[in-house]
Amino acid sequence: MWNNRAKTGKAYKGLNLLHKAFGVAAVTQSIIDQAINSKWHDFEDAIHYEAAIASGCDAIVSRNTNDFSCSTLPVLSPAKFLTRLHSDEEE
């Protein structure tokens, strides 16, 4: 049981760092309406995309980059995002 608590604590610590660094994109009725009207294959991805656009995001990070083939924003895998983030920190 202790091992699970340690893993959970580590996960929450990581989530807290991400939240402080990046914030949260709002999902409003307007975002839902835009996602519905977009007719993307995957509705959840459409919501993510529309929320990212409305929030002025520079990119989308997803393990399923192929799901965002219609995106006008760059779509990065988590590994590629971390590589870019690390290289930006060195500059």
Average pLDDT rounded to a whole number, residues 56-67: 93
Tell me the C-alpha distance between 2 and 53, whole Å: 41
Q: What is the mean pLDDT of the chain?
A: 90
Average pLDDT rounded to a whole number, residues 30-34: 97
Alpha helices in the chain (DSSP H): 2-22, 29-38, 43-55, 78-90
Confidence of residue 90 (pLDDT cuts 50, 70, 90): low
CA diameter of the chain? 47
Is the confidence at residue 54, as pLDDT, over 90? yes
